[in-house]
Amino acid sequence: MPFRQFGGRVTDSLKDRYQQSPNWSDGKFQNLQDTSMSISLKDFPKILYQQLSGRSDRTPNKPLPIRSFDHQKLMDSSEKMKYAWYGHSAIFMKLNGLNILIDPMLGPDASPIGPITTQRFSKDSLDLIDDFPEIDLLLMTHDHYDHLDFESIKKLKNKTKRYFVALGLKRHLVSWGVDSALITEFDWWEEQELGGVKVTFTPTRHFSGRGLTDRAKCLWGGWAFQTAAESIWFSGDGGYGQHFQKIGEHFGGFDFAFMECGQYNEHWRQIHLFPDESVFAAQDAFAKKIMPVHWAGFTLAPHHWKEPVEIFTATAKSRQMDFVIPQIGELRSVEETHWEEWWREY
């Protein structure tokens, strides 16, 4: 079983396909601006110590609850987007009548092949899939373990109709038994319409890989959704950069945006947003209302689990940005404005 977690192998024919992308160079996918992901040997012991020491002190004092799926609310007459967040970056959306899942990593461990586990803050999250309605479209931003989960995909296969994924990610799904004909890969700025929703893959400043030999052999990005009535954006993982303003200008802004916020460190600042930068990036992209994701799921960085949301809320208030932070699993309409600081009791 562990070897299956790696997913599909990069074959010569796949490399031939990938190198047709304008974003492929020197044998791998590249970011739009210079991005360093190297950690010096002298810094490595310090970083490892930060990552491994005091992990229990940076996690919730009890498991974070997940609300049951609200099928009745899903069927109400509102035509506006509805969504539920399942911790970290897992999002369910109902948009223009389509049931959509984004990065549905619902497994219990974000380090399934590592010597040290990274346990989810919530229990029995895989069981949520049993209660989900049929999924019209499942989208994947990139192939890191905290986004693409073997066990989750196994459970979702029999209730998912279509897959839109980053260029290079299809090989993983096919290796796990997903029908190749159901999967469409996207390069940056490529788009496709499904059920009255125009879906576009937007650039981020990040990287990818599941093993020692496939680093940057899968593209990374975010997803924009446009209907006749509204425009929604999922930022995806990635550091601050010029692309945020370009995305905003391309789409003319967004009614609502899910913004990466969490799992950051000075040593990898260029590939993950800090919480204040999440707000700055949303403003660059002309988002009207925002919500932080990529937190409340796992301890993947040396900050306390509450730090992202605390800094995000303070920054959003200071910048007069409209924002919302729902409880995990709470199905909401994009029009709803009420919320509480639920994380404080954990």
pLDDT by position in tens, the chain (length 346): 568 999 999 999 999 999 999 999 999 999 999 998 665 545 545 555 556 566 667 899 999 999 999 999 999 877 899 999 999 999 999 999 999 999 999 999 999 988 889 999 999 999 999 999 999 999 999 999 999 999 999 999 999 999 999 999 999 999 999 999 999 999 999 999 999 999 999 999 999 999 989 999 999 999 999 999 999 999 999 999 999 999 999 999 999 999 999 999 998 899 999 999 999 999 999 999 999 999 999 999 999 999 999 999 999 999 999 999 999 999 999 999 999 999 999 9
Q: Which domains does the chain have, with CATH numbers?
A: 45-337 (3.60.15.10)
Q: Report DSSP state, residue 295.
A: B
* Cα atoms in the Cβ-side hemisphere of radius 13 Å centred on 185: 20
Q: Output the CA torsion sign for 274, 279, 284, 286.
A: positive
Which DSSP string do the residues of 173-187 spell out, in sequence order? HHHTT--GGGEEEE-
pLDDT at 115: 82
Give residue 121's Cα distance to chain centre.
17
Distance CA 150, CA 172 (A): 9
Would you say 194 and 98 are in contact if contact means Cβ atoms under 8 Å apart? yes
pTM of the model: 0.96
